[in-house]
Amino acid sequence: MVALDRLFPAHLATLQATADRALVAADGEALLIGAGQLRTQFLDDRTDPYVASPHFKHWAPILDAPGSFVLHCPGQRPRLLFHQPKDYWHKPPSLPTAPWLDAFEVVLLRSPQEARAHLPAHTVYIGDDSLKDPLSWGFKACNPGPALACLHYARAVKTPYELACLREASTLGARAHQAAAAAFHAGASEYAIHLQYLAATGLTEAELPYSNIIATNEAGAVLHYTELSRVAPNQYRSLLIDAGAQVRGYASDITRTYATTAGPFQALLADMDQLQQRLCAKVKPGIYYPDIHQQAHREIGQLLIDHGLIRCSLDQAIDTEVTSVFFPHGIGHLLGLQVHDIGGHQQDEQGTTLPPPKAHPYLRLTRTLEPGMVVTIEPGIYFIPMLLERAHQDHRRSSIHWDHIEALLPFGGIRIEDDVVATDQGALNLSRAAFSALA
C-alpha cells in the first residue's frame, strides 16, 4: 500500500468530524457532496473540460466521474455514489481500485438522479448549480452559508494525507520546471517550453491546477500572461515561469525566473532569491500572514534602494506606495484543492471575514497561521509600463531612478514562488525540497 493510502483513513475521520459540525450549523442530518457535472457550451454540443468540485475531491480523489456524490451521515461509513453511465459514445469512468476506496460503501449510479433514492430526510446539498431542479430533490438546504463557512475554514489546515499529496505535487512541478528551464536555455518558443512542461508532468492541459504562465523577456511584466507565443525571438533575456502540477486533486504553485546573461537584472534576481527565502522562513504557527506581506514590502523597498532603482528613504518608499509600483500583488495565498484555496479571509468557522488592508486589496490571506496550513510565498519585482507611467505622473516621480528602470524594461520582471507548510518546527518548504531532491 502506498503511503498516501495509509494516511487516508485518518484524513477521512477529520473530514467526518468537520462535516458533523457543518451539519449542526446547517441544522441537517446528512451531507450530500456533488462532484459536479459536465457543462455544455453555448449553442453547441461540446462540453467544457470537467473539473471536479473541491468539496468532492476532498473526500474522494476521483477526478473523472461527473455526476458522482459522497454521502455523509454522522456515525455511518461514508457512501460513494459513483456515476457510471451506460454509454457507447464515451468511455464511462472506471471505479478506482485503490485501497482508499475500502473506507467507502460504494453504490453505482447509472444517472445522477438515481442518487435521490439514497438520501435520508433533512439532507444538506453541497455542490454546483448543475443539478436539474435541486428543489425537487427535497433537500433541507443547498449550499447553506453556515455549513460552507465551517467547511471552508477547516480546509485551510491540512491533514498528513493532504500534506503528502501536496509534497508529491511539488515534486512533479519541480521536475517539470527543470524540463521547461532546459527548453528555455535551448531557445525554444514559449509554446514549445509549455509542451516540454506538460510532457514532464504527464498531465493534460486540463489537468493542470491553473494555466501555465510562460513569459519571456518583456512578457514577464504581465502578471497573468498566458499567450504562449509560437515564435522564439532572436535573443532571450529572461523567463518567468509560473506553473504547477496536480496529484490526487492537490495543487502545487511554483514560480521561477531565469536570466540568460550577467548584469543588473541577474544581480537583482540573485538578491530576490535570498529575500524570498527569508520570507519563506517566516511561515510559522502564530504568525499573522499580512505581516509577511508588510515585511515583503520593506525587503523589496530596501532591495530597490540597494540596486539604485529608487532614491527615497525606505519609510518613504513604503508610505508613498513606491514599492507597490514594482510589487502590485499579494505575497501569497492558501494552497490545496484549489490553487487559490478558499477561506483566506475567514477568521472562524462561523464565517466572520477580515478583508485585506486598504493599501493591499489583492492580499488573499488575512489569517493567523496554524500548524498544517499551506501557503505560497511569492514576492515579485516587475517593470510594468502602465504602473510606471502612472508613477511618472504623480508624487512618486522624484523617487524613482528612471534611466535605471529603462534598462530593465526588456527583462519584464521577477517572481519567485514556493509552497510552504507552517509546522511546529517552523517553515517546511515543499518546493525547495523538491528541487533539492532532483539535483
Q: How far is the CB of 180 from Mn ion (least distance, A)?
A: 17
Say if residues 193 and 229 touch (Cβ distance below 8 Å).
no
Query: Site mask, Mn ion, residues 311-340, x = CB under 5 A?
Result: ------------------------------
Interacting span for Mn ion (CB under 5 A) from 97-105, 217-225, 229-237, 253-261: 253-261
Pick 307 or 329: Cβ nearer Mn ion: 329
Q: How far is the CB of 380 from Mn ion (least distance, A)?
A: 10
How many chain residues interact with Mn ion (CB under 5 A)?
2
Q: How far is the CB of 412 from Mn ion (least distance, A)?
A: 17
Pick 35 or 334: Cβ nearer Mn ion: 334
Q: Does 418 bind Mn ion (CB under 5 A)?
A: no
Q: How far is the CB of 88 from Mn ion (least distance, A)?
A: 42
Q: Does 253 bind Mn ion (CB under 5 A)?
A: yes
Q: How far is the CB of 329 from Mn ion (least distance, A)?
A: 9
Interacting span for Mn ion (CB under 5 A) from 140-148, 216-224, 250-258, 277-285: 250-258
Residue for cell digits 482508499? 100
Q: How far is the CB of 417 from Mn ion (least distance, A)?
A: 5
Q: How far is the CB of 419 from Mn ion (least distance, A)?
A: 9
Pick 162 or 253: Cβ nearer Mn ion: 253
Query: Site mask, Mn ion, residues 292-311, x = CB under 5 A?
Result: --------------------
Pick 36 or 344: Cβ nearer Mn ion: 344
Pick 297 or 333: Cβ nearer Mn ion: 333
Interacting span for Mn ion (CB under 5 A) from 170-178, 191-199, 248-256, 395-403: 248-256
Say if residues 280 and 420 touch (Cβ distance below 8 Å).
yes
Pick 36 or 209: Cβ nearer Mn ion: 209
Pick 324 or 376: Cβ nearer Mn ion: 376
Query: Site mask, Mn ion, residues 345-384, x = CB under 5 A?
Result: -------------------------------x--------
Q: How far is the CB of 237 from Mn ion (least distance, A)?
A: 24
Residue among 427, 417, 296 at smallest CA distance from 369: 427
Within positions 29 to 48, which residues make up the interface with Mn ion, using CB under 5 A?
A: none
Q: How far is the CB of 378 from Mn ion (least distance, A)?
A: 5
Residue 428 grid cell: 517546511
Pick 223 or 428: Cβ nearer Mn ion: 223
**Could you write out the three-class secondary structure of the chain?**
CCHHHHHHHHHHHHHHHHHHHHHHHHCCCEEEEECCCCCECCCCCCECCCCCCHHHHHHCCCCCCCCCEEEECCCCCCEEEEECCCCCCCCCCCCCCCHHHHHCEEEEECCHHHHHHHCCCCEEEECCCCCCCHHHHCCCEECCHHHHHHHHHHHCECCHHHHHHHHHHHHHHHHHHHHHHHHHHCCCCHHHHHHHHHHHHCCCHHHCCCCCEEEEHHHHHCCCCCCCCCCCCCCCCEEEEEECCEECCEECCEEEEEECCCCHHHHHHHHHHHHHHHHHCCCCCCCEHHHHHHHHHHHHHHHHHHCCCECCCHHHHHHCCCHHHHCCCCCCCECCCCCCCCCCCECCCCCCECCCCCCCCCCCCCCECCCCEEEEECCEEECCHHHHHHHHHCCCHHHECHHHHHHHHHHCEEECEEEEEEECCEEEEHHHHHHHHHC
Pick 288 or 362: Cβ nearer Mn ion: 362
Catalog residues that contact Mn ion under the rule CB under 5 A.
Answer: 253, 376
